């Protein structure tokens, strides 16, 4: 059947430093996925993604957009883990 899942993606974007003319940002990510009817089965992951932006005017939205592929990949792993536990 279809599983109803709760997905929570929390991010915090912070400027880290300027290195070699590029601007380094750090995106901290907390992901959680759980079956809607069984929150005890929550699977979580926390990680950081370093991002290098080329221009000074690029800020949090651009850093988050650059980190998105890594976040999506990690979320995919969590979804696979939760769904495989629901369908043994």
Of 36, 24, 21, 27, which Cα lies nearest the Cα of 9? 27
Q: Which pLDDT does position 86 carry in this prediction?
A: 72
**Arithmetic mean of pLDDT, 65-83:** 96
With 80 as the cut, is the pLDDT of residue 10 above it?
A: yes
Would you list the domain boundaries of the chain?
A: 5-86
Read off the pLDDT band of 1 (50, 70, 90): low
Cα gap 74→46, rounded to integer Å: 10
């Amino acid at each position: 059947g279809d599983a109803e899942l709760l997905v929570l993606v929390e991010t915090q974007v912070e400027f880290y430093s300027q290195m070699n003319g590029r601007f380094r940002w750090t995106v901290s990510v907390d992901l959680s996925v759980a079956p809607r009817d069984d929150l005890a089965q929550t699977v979580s992951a926390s990680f950081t993604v370093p991002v290098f932006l080329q221009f000074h005017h690029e800020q949090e939205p651009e850093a988050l957009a650059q980190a998105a592929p890594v976040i999506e990949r990690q979320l995919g792993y969590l979804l696979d883990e939760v769904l495989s536990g629901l369908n043994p």
